[in-house]
């Protein structure tokens, strides 16, 4: 090493060598950062940078080379880029769960994205009647569509289905009794537990039947002068099997009518189409529930419906009017962002022939194993090349899940790639798999798979554009070599 290099690169810096913030901000490269981002952010990051350098200097681990103007400028630019990088990021979902709650549930159809973007770019007639020039009602934007699609007399929308259930129970059953089967006291992820929701709504829960069997007579005996409603809850995320019986909405409706109480059904996912037609497991529809005689049916916008987060409430004019007028509605109302996306999504349901192509959720759910296998095949060789020799990649049949509590026990025949650490690897299996998962999650467009039996599985069902993954294989290889 030459004398010069040992001075510039080898010697340790002390606190006295640190640049002042002012001096740092006057460097030409940093001036350029200031003109792009303004003084506030750049100065704050510069101070944090110098604080970090001071700590390193005091610890005796700061080299002079780190204080060269280019090094300082580059590390400051890096800090700023990191600071401005969004925390909410798009990812590639190769988990095999199509409607994945942790990955944002349903992906919006293009028509919904376009309408959302167009409506958010300026003022809109969210609560303004363009015909009369007077105040309008945001519900009216989708009420007609929802009534047409489900056959309901009236409809309203709120923030999510949890809000729809809470609001319906509070408006129709607050201060009075709500009867529910012990077999339907569900907990959905994220602390949505039916008994707690009832308590929050101010409805007194009256449980009937047992975990596995509830009969019409159980409901009949429990109805008193204090009863406001009967609640049916779709057991979305579990199944009671074996010696079981439950009472359907169609059987409960005549009882509810005769005794003058409301019948409310929380459908959870609530597909608006007959899933059986697409070869998928059947899920009860709001249409069927209304035809069976329910007064109110609630369901999610971002599960099988394939739209934005929203809680949809459809039912009789009388019930929906009470729900809409209930003060809590204002606190739970749907924002204009999902409302725009919901309107465009529902319009697709007026053109059912388009759904399987236009709704990503339905497109992915209806892909055959052979179609998914073609995606896997497109990735196989390039991925093998990128991961050799540390990992071996094999095409494999696997099973996808619908997800989000829809059709919980059904699995869809699928296909994908199974990646295992090569036996020659010196590290443990678990460590090698974790390193790979981490590298995939660390890509510019993160890739999320699932680990099962000491292998990383990449289910290729939800891939529309293999290039999104193929284009990142260089970065993946680099990350694994560095690791
Ligand atoms: C998913 C689900 C909910 C909650 O719906 P969100 O839209 O997530 O608020 C409530 N009830 C049932 C039965 C569900 O499946």
- pLDDT level of residue 163 (50, 70, 90 thresholds): very high
| Comparison of pLDDT for 4 and 105, the residue scoring more | 105
Q: Cβ distance 315 to 181 under 8 Å?
A: no
- pLDDT level of residue 355 (50, 70, 90 thresholds): very high
Which residue lies with its CA nearest to atom 13 of ligand 1? 268
Q: Cβ distance 307 to 280 under 8 Å?
A: no
- Amino acid 167: pLDDT: 98
Mean pLDDT of 252-265: 98
Is the minimum distance from the CB of 168 to ligand 1 under 6 angstroms?
Answer: no
- Amino acid 5: pLDDT: 43
- Amino acid 188: pLDDT: 83
- Amino acid 406: pLDDT: 61
Is the minimum distance from the CB of 236 to ligand 1 under 6 angstroms?
Answer: yes
**pLDDT tens-digit series, residues 99-115:** 999 999 999 999 999 99
Query: How remote is the CA of residue 161 from the centroid of ligand 1, in Å?
Result: 5
**pLDDT tens-digit series, residues 340-352:** 999 999 999 999 9
Mean pLDDT of 398-416: 86
**pLDDT tens-digit series, residues 14-62:** 999 999 999 999 999 999 999 999 999 999 999 999 999 999 999 999 9
Is the minimum distance from the CB of 173 to ligand 1 under 6 angstroms?
Answer: no
Is the minimum distance from the CB of 234 to ligand 1 under 6 angstroms?
Answer: yes
Does 399 have pLDDT greater than 90?
A: yes
Query: How remote is the CA of residue 280 from the centroid of ligand 1, in Å?
Result: 20
Domain boundaries, the chain: 3-84, 92-100+364-482, 110-358
Does 249 have pLDDT greater than 90?
A: yes
Which residue lies with its CA nearest to atom 14 of ligand 1? 268
| Comparison of pLDDT for 236 and 425, the residue scoring more | 236
Is the minimum distance from the CB of 266 to ligand 1 under 6 angstroms?
Answer: yes
The fold adopted by the segment(s) 110-358 is: 3.40.640
Which residue lies with its CA nearest to atom 1 of ligand 1? 268
State percent of the chain over pLDDT 70.
96
If one residue of 236, 284, 338 were mutated to test the ligand 1 pocket, choosing by the most ligand atoms within 8 A of its CB, it would be 236
Is the minimum distance from the CB of 361 to ligand 1 under 6 angstroms?
Answer: no
Is the minimum distance from the CB of 233 to ligand 1 under 6 angstroms?
Answer: yes
**pLDDT tens-digit series, residues 280-299:** 988 999 999 999 999 999 99
Is the minimum distance from the CB of 310 to ligand 1 under 6 angstroms?
Answer: no
Query: How remote is the CA of residue 323 from the centroid of ligand 1, in Å?
Result: 18
- pLDDT level of residue 424 (50, 70, 90 thresholds): low
- Amino acid 170: pLDDT: 98
- 92-100+364-482 domain in CATH 3.40.50.1370? no
- Amino acid 426: pLDDT: 53
Does 10 have pLDDT greater than 90?
A: no
pTM flag (> 0.75): yes
Is the minimum distance from the CB of 194 to ligand 1 under 6 angstroms?
Answer: no
Is the minimum distance from the CB of 414 to ligand 1 under 6 angstroms?
Answer: no
Ligand 1 atom closest to residue 269's alpha carbon, by position in its atom list: 15
Is the minimum distance from the CB of 232 to ligand 1 under 6 angstroms?
Answer: no
Is the minimum distance from the CB of 105 to ligand 1 under 6 angstroms?
Answer: no
């Amino acid at each position: 090493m030459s004398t010069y290099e040992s001075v510039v690169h080898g010697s340790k810096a002390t606190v006295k060598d640190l640049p002042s913030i002012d001096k740092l901000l006057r460097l030409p490269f940093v001036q350029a950062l200031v003109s792009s981002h303004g003084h506030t952010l750049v100065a704050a990051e510069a101070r944090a940078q110098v604080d970090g350098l001071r700590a390193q200097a005091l610890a005796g681990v700061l080299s002079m080379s780190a204080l060269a103007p280019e090094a300082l400028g580059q590390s400051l630019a890096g800090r700023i880029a990191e600071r401005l990088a969004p925390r909410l990021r798009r990812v590639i979902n190769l988990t095999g769960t199509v409607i994945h709650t942790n990955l944002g549930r349903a992906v919006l159809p293009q028509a919904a994205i376009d309408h959302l973007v167009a409506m958010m770019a300026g003022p809109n007639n969210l609560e303004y009647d363009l015909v009369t020039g007077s105040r309008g009602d945001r519900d009216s934007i989708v009420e007609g569509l929802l009534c047409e699609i489900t056959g309901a007399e009236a409809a309203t929308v709120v923030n999510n289905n949890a809000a729809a259930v809470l609001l319906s129970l509070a408006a129709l059953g607050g201060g009075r009794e709500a009867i529910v089967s012990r077999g339907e006291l569900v907990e959905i992820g994220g602390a949505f537990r039916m008994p707690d929701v009832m308590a929050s709504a101010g409805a007194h829960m009256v449980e009937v039947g047992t975990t596995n069997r509830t009969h019409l007579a159980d409901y009949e005996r429990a109805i008193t002068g204090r009863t406001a409603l009967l609640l049916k809850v779709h057991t979305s995320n579990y199944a009671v099997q074996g010696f079981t019986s439950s009472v359907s909405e169609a059987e409960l409706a005549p009882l509810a009518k005769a005794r003058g109480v409301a019948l409310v059904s929380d459908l959870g996912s609530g597909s608006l189409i007959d899933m059986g037609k697409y070869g998928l497991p059947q899920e009860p529809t709001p249409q069927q529930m209304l035809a069976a005689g329910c007064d109110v049916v609630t369901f999610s916008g971002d599960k099988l419906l394939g739209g934005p987060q929203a809680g949809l409430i459809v039912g009789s004019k009388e019930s929906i009017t009470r729900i809409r007028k209930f003060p809590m509605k204002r606190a739970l109302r749907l924002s204009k962002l999902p409302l725009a996306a919901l309107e465009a999504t529902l319009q697709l349901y007026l053109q059912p022939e388009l759904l399987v192509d236009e709704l990503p959720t339905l497109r992915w759910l209806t892909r055959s194993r052979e179609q998914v296998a073609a995606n896997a095949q497109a990735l196989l060789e390039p991925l093998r090349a990128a991961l050799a020799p540390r990992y071996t990649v094999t095409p494999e049949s696997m099973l996808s899940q619908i997800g989000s509590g829809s059709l919980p026990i059904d699995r869809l025949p699928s296909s994908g790639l199974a990646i295992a650490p090569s036996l020659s690897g010196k590290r443990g299996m678990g460590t090698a798999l974790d390193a790979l998962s981490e590298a995939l999650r660390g890509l510019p467009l993160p890739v999320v798979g699932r680990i099962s039996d000491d292998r990383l599985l990449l289910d290729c069902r939800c891939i529309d554009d293999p290039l999104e993954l193929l284009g990142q294989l260089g970065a993946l290889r680099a990350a694994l070599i560095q690791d």
